[in-house]
Amino acid sequence: MFGSVLIANRGEIACRVIRTARRMGLRSIAVFSDADAGAAHVALADHAIRIGPPAAAESYLAIERIIAAARRTGAEAIHPGYGFLSENADFAEACAAAGIIFVGPPAAAIRAMGSKSAAKALMERAGVPLVPGYHGADQDPAMLARAAAAIGYPVLIKASAGGGGKGMRVVRAPADFAAGLDLAKGEARAAFGDDRVLVEKYLTRPRHIEIQVFADRHGNVVSLHERDCSIQRRHQKIIEEAPAPLIDETMRAAMGRAACDAARAIGYEGAGTVEFIAEDGAFHFMEMNTRLQVEHPVTEMITGIDLVEWQFRVAAGEALPLSQERIARRGHAVEVRLYAEDPARDFAPSTGTLARLRLPAESRHVRIESGVREGDAVSVHYDPMIAKLVTWDEDRDGALRQMAQALAACEIDGVQTNLGLLRRIVTHPDFRAASFDTGFIARHEASLLPAREAAPLAVLAAASQCWLAAQPHVPDPADPWSPWATRTAWRLNGARHQDVAFAEDGTTHHLRLHLQDAGRFRLESGGRAVAVSIATGAEGAQLVELEGEVTRLRAAWQGERIVVFTDGVRHALVPVDPHEATGEAEGADSRVRSVMPGKVVELAVAAGDSVKAGDLLAVIEAMKVQFRITAPRDGTIAAIDCAVGDLVEDGAELMAFADDHD
Ligand code: ADP
Ligand code: ADP
Ligand code: MG
């Protein structure tokens, strides 16, 4: 075994790899860009080397800089993590040329699977079942359109070089093919610098089931069973589990064999994943990812195997530690990817500082993989994943119960997150009953992405207490240290009650508080009056009692806002003058704003154009994903306030509607 490893990655996966390296007695070396000088992975490693500016192309993707860092620190091996250079055959070769062990498959195996088109051709020859489609070299648009017609609509256009759900477009009718092709190619060019595509039959109710394989250089190839990753948004996984519900032993064995055949066909070594799409009991090869997968922890939880340890052993030339029969499958594991993104705005990435970040405690049932800490920034430069939460139990129901509780314990402020969405999915009756496919989120959008709920009374009560505690402090002679001493101020003012208003997402809550005692007041809101009593619970939580019901929550000032967390839900309340007229800013509706920071890559309208609600106005690109900005209503565009190529902030005004009063 080698004695040191450089991790050519960042975030949670860098931290994950470092932990196993440490357990195995390997010296760990991190690399970082200027944006990550204070990042968790840098703090965790034994050594860390700066490799360049924030842009990934000049740091985490810069092969020479990473090799130079390895040379400088005497690293004997390089683990690429996932993403970045993990599936880059040139990088694997550069490592070999520098005499450094690449913890991954041989460059030739990476190349064989690097293009989805070429991989499909190869698998066809190896007898692995494929999704019907065209994966040839001819890229003439008219020819691709004819291929699509021959396959039969709907079809899926995919970037051959694709990954992460990027460069993929579903086309439902021939008339939309040309536009879909342009979008897919545009995204593919931006993300992979390669705009070749393939066209496939688009299956309408499939499941994504993949097999984790492992191979060594002594001819052993095993399957570490399957994962179901069907819960996806924008074709990217957000919830994964192992084993896959509702597959029987026959199908499991057949898929395992097909995956091992695929690995053998390309002389594979190390960890790899063969992805299949399954529908009506049949399964078809989609692609092989020649690296460690984001969702590998669910496999670790049911097999008890540390996949990173196996990667190190195989890379060092050892044989696989276990034969196929000895690979266990115990219980059920679920992983969710907690992202800084806004599900209500088409999952646009959300950037900002993690003003608060509390994740559940780890236990036998709960595992947390995160690469950020409270106070860290989620920037535009990298993937906006905050953490992966993984739960395990003896059966699926137990693992999902554990997950619902784990999600309820999360407190995140400073960025938008998909926490509420994840929570609603894992508690959804259809998901609980294992009745789902890759269209689950889209189909249940109405119930999974409900409009934000207005703060319930218990939340308003906790916010009121925070607000009261911040009022000018006049000591109560009876209890000079009590924050409730403010009541003295009220008495001095001759007031029996205090009016307060909290603004929340366009609504204003008007409250009247009648103070009684320390921690007790009456709260009037919307014609209701209730007695409130607040006590301190474990870990500084507030226990708010309203009419005999106690709610556990946590409320604190964050700048000008009072943020209240309860049961995995966050409410941000801004105290406003209760006597000021309410009502939203005038004319807000006439402006079209960017839903995220990014680059304007297309303007579909010009000043003077009239548009219908839903028409495409502009395309914004961020983190290599393109977002369509559509018209919120019918009207005429009065002015355009941006140009193609502009970098815009979240909320920046892109264009304005004419004030055509209706
Ligand atoms: P997987 O197939 O392992 O689930 P995804 O579908 O999430 O991975 O992502 C596909 C591509 O995006 C891969 O190349 C993956 O390595 C990359 N990727 C995903 N998440 C991250 C991340 N947090 N940092 C860097 N790259 C990522
Ligand atoms: P990536 O490299 O981005 O992971 P994949 O080819 O693995 O691309 O596909 C990503 C996801 O897109 C799949 O998990 C699946 O949900 C969906 N998908 C891919 N191919 C098809 C298809 N032919 N029909 C329906 N959905 C598909
Ligand atoms: Mg894939």
pLDDT digits (tens, 9 = 90+) for 257-302: 999 999 999 999 999 999 999 999 999 999 999 999 999 999 999 9
- The CATH code of the domain at 592-657 is 2.40.50.100
φ, ψ for residue 287, nearest 5 deg: -165, 165
Please report which confidence band the pLDDT of residue 468 belongs to, taking 50, 70 and 90 as the band edges: confident
Three-class SS of 8-59:
CCCHHHHHHHHHHHHHCCCEEEEEEEHHHCCCHHHHHCCEEEEEECCCHHHC
| Distance from C-alpha of 287 to C-alpha of 113, rounded to nearest angstrom | 7
Ligand 1 neighbourhood includes 486 CB (under 6 angstroms): no
Ligand 1 neighbourhood includes 370 CB (under 6 angstroms): no
pLDDT given for residue 641 in this prediction? 92
Relative to the CA of 284, which ligand 2 atom is closest?
Answer: 23
| Distance from C-alpha of 123 to C-alpha of 252, rounded to nearest angstrom | 19
Residue 95 burial by Cβ neighbours in a 10 Å radius (0-12, 13-18, 19+): buried
The residue written with tokens 């957000």 in the block is 238
Per-domain residue ranges of the chain = 4-103, 132-201, 331-446, 457-576, 592-657
**Nearest CA, atom 25, ligand 1:** 83
Please report which confidence band the pLDDT of residue 474 belongs to, taking 50, 70 and 90 as the band edges: very low
- pLDDT of 107 above 60: yes
**Out of 2.60.40.1120, 3.50.50.60, 3.30.1490.20, 3.40.50.720, which CATH number does the structure's domain 132-201 have?**
3.30.1490.20
First to last CA, the chain: 75
What's the mean pLDDT when you consider all of the chain?
91
CA distances in angstroms from 373 to 59, 122, 528, 529, 572, listed in the order given: 22, 44, 41, 41, 21
pLDDT given for residue 5 in this prediction? 98
Ligand 2 neighbourhood includes 203 CB (under 6 angstroms): yes
Whose CA is closest to 114, among 165, 161, 157? 161
Rounded to two decimals, the pTM is 0.83
Ligand 1 neighbourhood includes 114 CB (under 6 angstroms): no
What is the pLDDT averaged over residues 499-506?
87
What is the pLDDT averaged over residues 166-173?
93
Give CA torsion, residues 345, 350, 355, 361, to 10 deg.
80
| Residue to mutate (ligand 2; options 117, 153, 208; most atoms within 8 A of CB) | 208
- pLDDT of 499 above 90: no
- The CATH code of the domain at 4-103 is 3.40.50.20
Strands (E), 234-384: 236-242, 270-279, 282-289, 332-339, 341-342, 348-349, 352-353, 356-358, 366-370, 377-378
Which ligand lies nearest to the CA atom of residue 15 in the structure?
A: 1
pLDDT digits (tens, 9 = 90+) for 512-553: 988 877 788 899 988 888 999 999 888 888 999 998 899 999
pLDDT given for residue 495 in this prediction? 53
Q: What percent of the chain has pLDDT over 70?
A: 94
Whose CA is closest to 644, among 583, 602, 610, 597? 602
pLDDT given for residue 314 in this prediction? 98
Task: Report residue 292 as tokens.
Answer: 């460690």
CA distances in angstroms from 407 to 13, 305, 425, 426, 439, listed in the order given: 21, 25, 11, 9, 23
Please report which confidence band the pLDDT of residue 581 belongs to, taking 50, 70 and 90 as the band edges: very low
* Count of helix runs (H) and strand runs (E) in the chain: 18, 39
What is the pLDDT averaged over residues 491-512?
77
Which ligand lies nearest to the CA atom of residue 290 in the structure?
A: 1
The residue written with tokens 């500084």 in the block is 540
Please report which confidence band the pLDDT of residue 496 belongs to, taking 50, 70 and 90 as the band edges: low
| Distance from C-alpha of 659 to C-alpha of 513, rounded to nearest angstrom | 41
Please report which confidence band the pLDDT of residue 209 belongs to, taking 50, 70 and 90 as the band edges: very high
**Out of 3.30.700.40, 3.90.1580.10, 3.40.190.10, 3.40.50.620, which CATH number does the structure's domain 457-576 have?**
3.30.700.40
Query: Strand, coil or helix: what is 322?
Result: coil
- pLDDT of 231 above 90: yes
Whose CA is closest to 311, among 86, 56, 70, 569? 86
Whose CA is closest to 229, among 173, 174, 165, 290? 165
Please report which confidence band the pLDDT of residue 120 belongs to, taking 50, 70 and 90 as the band edges: very high
Please report which confidence band the pLDDT of residue 624 belongs to, taking 50, 70 and 90 as the band edges: low
Task: Report residue 424 as tokens.
Answer: 């609603």
Superfamily the domain 331-446 falls into: ATP-grasp fold, B domain (3.30.470.20)
Active site residue 291: yes
